[in-house]
Amino acid sequence: MKKFLKKVLPLILVLGSIMVVVALVAYQGSQRSERKPETEKAILVDTIEAEVVSLNFLVSSQGTVKPRTQTTLVSEVSGKVVSVSAAFVAGGFFRQGEVLLQIDPSDYEAALKRAEAGLASRQAKLSEESARSEQALKDWQNLGRAGQPSDLVQRKPQMADAKANVSAAEADLQKARRDLERTRITVPYDGLVRQKDVDIGQYVTPGTPLGVTFAIDSAEIRLPLTNSDLNYLELPSETEVKNQVKSYPSVTLSTDRAGVSDQWQARIIRTEGVVDEVSRVTYAVAQVIDPYGVLGKSHQQVLKIGTFVNAGIQGIRAENVVMLPRHVLQSDNTVMLIDADSKLAIVPVTVIRAEPKKVYLSGGVNQGDQVVVTTLDAPVPGTKLAVSGNATAAGSKDDPGTPALTGGDEQ
């Protein structure tokens, strides 16, 4: 019996092991057949809906606000400054013709009186010579002499000398009056004082700088424009403007101050007509009327001289274009879309203008297309996508998905 068990027991154990292995394999196979097939994972992306619009391009530039007219005041006469206007300080406002400085006029008033006296004396001598000339002619006629009397007889040389002396005296009087007027320092426009160089009691001579003023009726901003910018602007010629065929485009000026954006309306008034040899740009000049708002010609807030402003110039009109964030345009002029099957499609587009923050397309993207704005590391056409916020988006219970790297915020 023992011998029988020794021979049969190992065989039974081997057969039992085989049966256990077969049963396990069969069980695992049945479990596999009951599993659900794995679904394709979708990449989570953000999209925007393309919209076809018509608009005017906006050409950006920048510049510094400068006065239309600036004057360096210089003394034309000598003397001591005897009075200074309260407006003659840096930032002081003055009206046209207002006396800003008064130089001691005493010597020039005396010179004016001497010139007036000299003129009166010369005029008296001219009257005397005129009477003598008339009397000489009468004497010639009374003596019954024939022919025309000579110039000496008629005292014409003396008359010419007397007239010349009167003209010289008149010139001296005019100079004396001008010198007296020049003791009163005035400016022929409404303006502000930019710089004050002299004060009361100071002695000045011809050529002494007195200060700097500028007009406030308008201010100007030189705006550099590249050749690319000029393609999107319609700048009329001077002839077209004079004949009122076309007008210069409007400009919106802006600047940020303490986190608040201030804006002013302006208009291009001319172009400088030359290309800068160094920067290769053309300058257009924009004008702001009454920048300080003191003349009653403008209701805008104050725009100070020297302010650095950004300018948006109204450009040519574009019809039926798609405006998208600049970063969605790929380096090969393509854009990523989501097709009807929620898969990635990469389509070529026609770019009509590209700006730092915006791009304008005239072909390749249609109204209502879903444009992918999320940056994908290696986009492959046909990749399954899920739009952020949708029910089938990545992160759902059945399909956790793999979110893509984002970084496509608008610049």
Q: 289, 298 in Cβ contact below 8 A?
A: yes
**What is the distance between the alpha carbons of residues 393 and 396, in angstroms, rounded to a whole number?**
6
Among candidate residues 173, 194, 215, the one where a domain is terminated: 215
88 and 116 fall within a common domain: no
Which pLDDT value is given to residue 291? 93
240 and 209 fall within a common domain: no
228 and 273 fall within a common domain: yes
141 and 199 fall within a common domain: no
Is residue 264 domain-resident?
yes
Q: Is 90 or 142 the better-scoring residue by pLDDT?
A: 90
Strand (E) or helix (H) holding 193 = strand 191-196
User: Could you tell me which of 206, 188, 315 has the C-alpha nearest to residue 252?
Assistant: 315
137 and 231 fall within a common domain: no
Is residue 401 domain-resident?
no
199 and 90 fall within a common domain: yes
Number of helices (H) and strands (E) in the chain: give both, helices first. 5, 22
Tens of pLDDT, residues 311-339: 999 999 999 999 999 999 998 899 999 98
Tens of pLDDT, residues 201-256: 999 999 999 999 999 999 999 999 999 898 999 887 776 667 665 778 899 999 98
Among candidate residues 259, 294, 318, the one where a domain is terminated: 318
Which pLDDT value is given to residue 397? 36
**What is the distance between the alpha carbons of residues 149 and 201, in angstroms, rounded to a whole number?**
64
Cα distances from 238 to residues 249, 273, 288, 315, 316, in angstroms, run: 13, 10, 19, 18, 19
Query: Based on the structure, what is the number of domains in the chain?
Result: 3
Beta bridge partners of residue 204, listed in sequence order: 79
Is residue 277 domain-resident?
yes
Is residue 398 domain-resident?
no
Is residue 228 domain-resident?
yes
Q: Residue 292: give the domain boundaries.
A: 59-67+216-318
Look up residue 101 and give its two tokens: 């400085």
Cα distances from 197 to residues 90, 194, 209, 245, in angstroms, run: 10, 10, 7, 47
Residue 31 pLDDT > 80: no
Which pLDDT value is given to residue 400? 36
| CA 323 to chain CA centroid, nearest Å | 24
Residue 163 pLDDT > 90: no
Look up residue 140 and give its two tokens: 């010639």
Residue 39 pLDDT > 60: no
Compute the mean pLDDT over every residue in the chain, rounded to the nearest whole number: 84
Residue 33 pLDDT > 60: no
239 and 115 fall within a common domain: no
DSSP string, 300-346: SPP--TT-EEEEEEEEEEEEEEEEEEGGGS-TTSEEEEE-TTSBEEE
Is residue 39 domain-resident?
no
Which pLDDT value is given to residue 182? 94
* CATH (domain of 192): 2.40.50.100
Residue 74 pLDDT > 90: yes
Q: How confident is the model at residue 385 (pLDDT cuts 50, 70, 90)?
A: confident
Q: 352, 360 in Cβ contact below 8 A?
A: yes
Which pLDDT value is given to residue 401? 36
User: Which range among 180-194, 343-357, 386-400 shows the weakest confidence by mean pLDDT?
Assistant: 386-400
174 and 270 fall within a common domain: no
Among candidate residues 265, 287, 318, the one where a domain is terminated: 318
Tens of pLDDT, residues 256-287: 877 788 899 999 998 888 888 898 999 999 99
Q: 45, 342 in Cβ contact below 8 A?
A: no
Is residue 151 domain-resident?
yes
Q: How confident is the model at residue 192 (pLDDT cuts 50, 70, 90)?
A: very high
Q: 336, 379 in Cβ contact below 8 A?
A: yes
85 and 120 fall within a common domain: no
201 and 128 fall within a common domain: no
In the chain, what's the furthest Cα-to-Cα distance? 201
Which pLDDT value is given to residue 356? 85
| Residues of the chain above pLDDT 90, percent | 49
128 and 257 fall within a common domain: no
**What is the distance between the alpha carbons of residues 56 and 323, in angstroms, rounded to a whole number?**
12
300 and 250 fall within a common domain: yes
Is residue 266 domain-resident?
yes
User: Which range among 235-239, 345-349, 366-370, 406-410 shows the weakest confidence by mean pLDDT?
Assistant: 406-410
HSE value, Cβ hemisphere, 13 Å, CA-based, for 351: 18
Q: How confident is the model at residue 9 (pLDDT cuts 50, 70, 90)?
A: low
Residue 298 pLDDT > 80: no
